[in-house]
Structure 1
Amino acid sequence: MFAKRRNLWLLWVALVATQVQAENCRMTLSEPRVDYGLIRPAQASSSRALMTLDTPRTLHLSVLCTDPSAMSLRFNGAAADAQGFQFGRQGRFTLNLRQAQVDGRPVSWQSDDTSSGQLLPGRMLYASVGGTPVTGRRLTAQVEVAVQLPANALAVTRETLLEGHGQFELVSPAVP
C-alpha cells in the first residue's frame, strides 16, 4: 500500500495594529492585518537556523493631529527578544519605519540610544531632523513588516496558524 503524500502548508497572519485615537490625534494604518496566506516551505529562505520569509510587507502609517505634537511612536506587543516581537511560539516579526515625513518634511527616527527606524520592544522612537525632535500636525511613514522563524517551523503535519499581535501608540503630548 502506498502512503498518501500531502503538501504541508501554513497559514500565517500577523495582526500588527489597529486604529488608535489620542487626545488630539488620530492614527491610522493602511491594513490592520498582515496576511501571509498559505506558505510553502519553498517560499522561505532557510540557509540558517533562523529563516526569513522572502517578502516583507509594507503598510502605510498616518497620524493627523489638530494641534502641533511631538511625533513619538511605540509598538506594544509581546517581545520575542530585544530585536523583535513574538510570532507564533518561537518566531518573531520586526517593524521598520521608512520614508517618514512630518508636515511634508523628511525626518529620521531616533531613540534614546540609537538612530534607527526599527521599533524595538519596550522602546520609543521620535521623529527628528539632525537629532532634534520635530513637531507637527501630520506624520506619514511606511512600516515594513518582516517575519523570522526557526528553520523547523515549517515541519508540520497539518495546516497551522501562526500569528503575532500588537498595537502602535502615539506617545507624544501636544506642544503648547
Structure 2
Amino acid sequence: MAVKLRSMGFVLICVALLAEGAQAQNCRLSLSQPRVDYGVIRREALVDPPSIALGTRMVQLNVLCEEPAAIALRFTGAANGQGFRFGRQGRFSLTLKHAQLDGRTVEWTQAPGETASGQLLPGQALVARGTGRRLSAQVAIDTHLPADALHVRNQTVLEGQGSFELVSPAAPQNR
C-alpha cells in the first residue's frame, strides 16, 4: 500500500501491494488484483477526525489445487497490533469473507478445535476446516490512518506491503 501526501493540496493516494500469486505443494494461490488504489483524498474535505478510515476495498482470492488438500493461508507483512503497518502510524487489516471450499462455506480455524473469524492476524495462519481442490474468498482490506498523518510539508509516501502465503496446516502458527 502506498500513500502520497502533499502539502497545501494534501492529496492522499493509497495503493495496497499484495503478492500476485503463491504456490505450495500441489496448490496455487492467485489474487484478482495485486494492487489496490484508494484514490485521492484532499485534507480540506476532512472534518478534523482523530483517525481516517480509507474505506474497505475487496480483492478476490482463489486457491486451486491439483488434488484435494488441506488449505491454510497466512499474510506476511510488518505487524501493527491486530493488523499490519501502513506507513509509520497507520495500519491495515485483512479479513476473508464469503469463503467457499469446493462450493461449501468455509469454517476457519487457527488452532485445533478453535473457530476463527476469518481475520488474518500477524504471525498466524487461517486453516480451512476440511480438504478441497478450490478455495475462493473475498479479501476485505480496511486501512486507517491517524489524522496527523496528513500534516506534512512535502510530498510523502506511506506504504504497507505484504504477501499471502499458502502454508502447511501442520506448520507452526507463529513466526
2:158 pairs with 1:162: yes
1:1-176 correspondence to structure 2 within 5 Å: 6-41=8-43, 47-48=49-50, 50-53=51-54, 55-81=55-81, 83-112=82-111, 115-127=116-128, 133-172=129-168
Unmatched 5+ stretches in structure 1:
128-132
Matched with 1:130 is: none
Query: What amino acid does structure 2 have at the position aligned with 1:41?
Result: R
* 8 Å CA contact 1:51, 1:148 repeated in 2: yes
Deviation at 1:169, TM superposition (A): 0.7
Query: What amino acid does structure 2 have at the position aligned with 1:101?
Result: Q
Question: What fraction of aligned residue pairs are identical, expressed as a percent?
Answer: 55
Find the aligned partners of 1:146 and 1:21 in 2 and give their Cα distance: 26
TM score, norm. by length of structure 2:
0.83
- Give 1 or 2 for the bigger CA radius of gyration: 1
- When residues 46 and 134 of structure 1 are mapped into structure 2, their CA distance, relative to the original with a 3 A threshold, is farther
TM score, norm. by length of structure 1:
0.83
Deviation at 1:111, TM superposition (A): 1.4
Find the aligned partners of 1:29 and 1:43 in 2 and give their Cα distance: 32
Unmatched 5+ stretches in structure 2:
1-6, 170-175
- When residues 7 and 165 of structure 1 are mapped into structure 2, their CA distance, relative to the original with a 3 A threshold, is same
